[in-house]
Amino acid sequence: MIRLWHVAQSRSFRVLWALEEIGAEYELIRCSFFDRSLRAPEHLVRSPAGRVPALEDGATVLSESGAILTWLAETRALHLRVAEGAEGRAAFLQGVHYAETLGAHLANLTQHHVVLRDASMRSPTVMRLEAKRLENALGAVGPGWAAGTFSVADVALGYAVWLARRFVTLPEGAAEYLAACASRPAFERALVQDGPPEIYLRDFYPPPEE
């Protein structure tokens, strides 16, 4: 049985979505950023950084969402990856890692808009700059971008685009890409499983005006 430690609206949603795509049986263990559960000694064994996701698959324990997506595809759903040497492999790898590029901008925006609750701690310049960088990076995303056929690269990238709409207006290509991802039944099931909002309590967080 797979066990997934999860916080609503966090990067663990990527794993939740992948598990629904695969149709795997799993136990969902809900956690919170706002108590001490992620800093508990037993969780730090699973996730040394004290974060989610953390996944236990028999004797295997992983705590990096990109690694978990690859592991799940390799062990349970070969159709959700592009094998080494196969056509589309480069696009698959690019999709997996481009999601991390978007994720870096999203993490900075989340830090400033959500985590730093005191306005005096925020940098309006950084908030505007990161929003613009995110918008520019999204310009490269379009329908079928990651590998041509749906894979865990699209899970990684689709989650990033889904979250990006909290901070910027999506370019047309990225909006079309997200619509295709969001129309998948597994994505809809994962949203139901995700749980009540934990991080983003507003639909949109615009950059500060100059």
For the chain, 210 residues long, give each residue's pLDDT as a single digit of tens. 999 999 999 999 999 999 999 999 999 999 999 898 999 999 999 999 999 999 999 999 999 999 999 999 999 999 999 999 999 999 999 999 999 999 999 999 999 999 998 889 999 999 999 999 999 999 999 987 766 789 999 999 999 999 999 999 999 999 999 999 999 999 999 999 999 999 999 999 999 998
Q: What is the pLDDT of residue 147?
A: 64
Give the Cα separation of 3 and 109 in Å (integer).
30
In this prediction the pTM is: 0.96
Q: Residue 195 — left, alpha, or beta (φ > 0 → left; ψ -120 to 50 → alpha)?
A: left
Contact 26, 2 (CB under 8 A): yes
Looking at residue 81, what is its pLDDT?
96
Q: At what angle do helices 152-164 and 12-22 cross, to 10 degrees?
A: 140
The per-residue pLDDT for 10 is 97
The CB density around residue 85, as the number of other CB atoms within 10 Å, is 6
- Domains for the chain: give ranges and CATH numbers: 2-80 (3.40.30.10), 89-185 (1.20.1050.10)
Q: Phi-psi category of 58—alpha, beta or left, where left has phi over 0 and alpha has psi -120 to 50? A: left
In this structure, are residues 203 and 118 in contact, taking their beta carbons and an 8 Å threshold?
no
The candidate with the shortest Cα–Cα distance to 108, out of 88, 84, 120, 125, is: 125
